[in-house]
Structures are given as C-alpha cells and as structure tokens.
Amino acid sequence: MAKRDQHRRRSKLNIAERTYGMTQDEKRRLYKLMRQNGFRKKSETEQAALLERLIATVESNSGRREYETRFAHNVGVATKHETRRRFKVRWRLYTFFIVGGIMIALAAYLLWSYVLVIENITVTGSERYLASDIVECSGISVGDKLFSLSIKSDEVADAITERFSYIKDVKLRRRIPDTVELVLTEETPVFIAELHDKYIYLSEELRVLEIADSKSPGDYIGMKLPDMRIVATAGRGLEMDESMLEVIKTAAAAVCSDEMRERTNYLDVSDRFNISISYDDRFLLELGNINDIEIKLKIAFEIMKESMFSGGNKGIIYLENVNKPSAQVDNSVKLY
C-alpha cells in the first residue's frame, strides 16, 4: 500500500513537471487521453513512455489549432483584399468589353454604310442576253449595300431564270469591297419539236428554251411528240400526261448518250408502243416500247457492223423483241 502511494506521488510529481507551462485546456486534453489509454494501470516505465507520447500529441494539436486560428484570421484579411482586387479586375474587363463592343459596332456601321457599297455589277457566262438586261432583272443596283439582306441569291436566280429561258443556273458572288458578280450557266438546245404550228426548242432534260414561229438552222435532234394535250412554256418543262412524259424523258436520255447524240437525227415518241429513232441518216431503229432501250441500242450497234450494211446501205433494224432482233436493207427507207 505504501509502495503504491509512493508510486502515485512520483507519477503526479513527474506529470506536474512535464505539464508545467501548459494551458488548462491542454492539461484537460492530456488527462482525458491518459484516462482513455489506461495510464494508471501501466507500469512506471510504460507510464513514462505513454506520457511523453500523449504530451507530444496534445502539443501537436495545440500548435495545429493555433496555426489554423492564425490562418483563418489571415485568410479573412486576405479575402477582403482579394474581393476588392477581383472587383477592380472585373470592372476593368467589363469596361474593356463594353468599349470594345461599341468600337466594333461603330466600325461595322461605317463599313456597312460607306465602304461595303456596290459600285460594280458584272455578268459572265451569257452569250444570248445583254448584261444590262440581266442586271435589271436581278433587282440589284449600284449603291445597294453589298451584304444587304434584301439581296438573296435564290430570289435573284429565280427572277433571272424565269425571264430568260436559256439560263439554267445563276450564282451570285460578292467581292469585297464593292463588286457583285452574276455567274450564269446557259442551256444548249438539243431537241426541236413542232407543236401547235410552233417550233419548240428543248434542252436535254426537256426544258422549254424557246418557242419560235420558224425553224432556225442548227444541229438539233428532231422530235415528234404525241398527239395529246401538251402545254409548253418557255423556261419550264413540258406539261402533259405524267406517264407519257416519263417515256419521252427516258428515250431522250438514251439518245443523248455519248454514242448516240452526234449521229441521232430524229426521235419519234408519238406512240409509246412504237418508238423509233433515225440514226446516222441511214438507219431506222424500230424500238417498240421503251423497255430495255439501252440493250436494244447495243444490239442495233452490233447489227450495223454486219456486211449487209457495208457500202453505205440503208436499212431498218427491228428491236421490238430483244431476243429476236432482225434487220433488212432498204435504201428507200423514210428516215424522218
């Protein structure tokens, strides 16, 4: 009993020495840690080691808390300065962007009003029409704004192609600072057909290019149209029965191929079941209906090479049945 009391007194004395200079809060934390770690149940050697470790823990935590307190204070002070600095930076940025935006808007207005103004209008690609007529039809005038929203490429193209039937396509190009260029693509008449005592000039796609009272000389493919209601309007396609129109378009596309176009003289599509082609001023190709027209034309080319047509003989090639084609020499054949 006396030994235990002596040990306790020695421990208290040792603890008092080791905790000298500590704050009351630090001492409370130390005693709490001692109780939690069973300080009194340990031997003197273990108590000494544990005490050193617990004191180090308390002092370390105290230092960290002091640092955190000081850091929080410094952060609070720094935050005020940082807020002021950021406010100044933002204000400068806002001012810069506002002034910059005003300057850009002013520059754009000056360019729009006084610099980017149309002074020149050029027309290229047209051989049939006067440039002045094209410009007048386009609705574009000298003095207009170069990038005016009222100048729309589609509307300009529609206006020109509707009035000038030979013009297939129009491209509008703006050239900074003051030029507008109208680039035209003109159609070439491929077919000529007689309709209602008028001569109709047609493109490869059967677009009506011109309606004339007389036939003008040229390298055209003659076409005989069916006897039905057909409306022809310059600048537009033929208006007629849709199924018959498809037959005519298919036949027209066939004779416009590379092998056929230069030597085809006449295309008779007046009867969808008895289509015929006059070729090279020598051959009458009786195709029957439009079915397998490409195969029929290939067969016709092979028959043309036969000896019966040597020496410039004319003839008729019957291609209604692709499985049984036939031909005959007929130098008096009526080609067109």
> Is the bond preceding 177 in cis, omega lying within 30 degrees of 0?
yes
What does the alpha-carbon distance between residue 220 and residue 201 come to, in Å, rounded to a whole number? 9
Categorise residue 95: left if φ over 0, alpha if ψ from -120 to 50, beta otherwise.
Answer: alpha
What does the alpha-carbon distance between residue 167 and residue 170 come to, in Å, rounded to a whole number? 8
* 215-225 burial code (b ≥16 CB/10 A, e <16): eeeeebbbbeb
User: Residues 293-304: pLDDT tens digits?
Assistant: 999 999 999 999
Helices (H), the chain: 2-18, 24-36, 44-110, 131-138, 153-163, 242-255, 293-304
User: Residues 265-295: pLDDT tens digits?
Assistant: 999 999 999 999 999 999 999 999 999 999 9
Please report which confidence band the pLDDT of residue 13 belongs to, taking 50, 70 and 90 as the band edges.
very low
Say whether pLDDT at 15 is over 90: no
More confident residue, 169 or 8: 169
Q: What is the pTM of this model?
A: 0.64
pLDDT for residue 24:
76
pLDDT for residue 264:
95
Amino acid at 209: L
Say whether pLDDT at 68 is over 60: no
User: Residues 320-335: pLDDT tens digits?
Assistant: 999 999 999 999 998 8
Please report which confidence band the pLDDT of residue 71 belongs to, taking 50, 70 and 90 as the band edges.
very low
User: Residues 106-141: pLDDT tens digits?
Assistant: 766 655 555 578 889 999 998 899 999 999 999 898
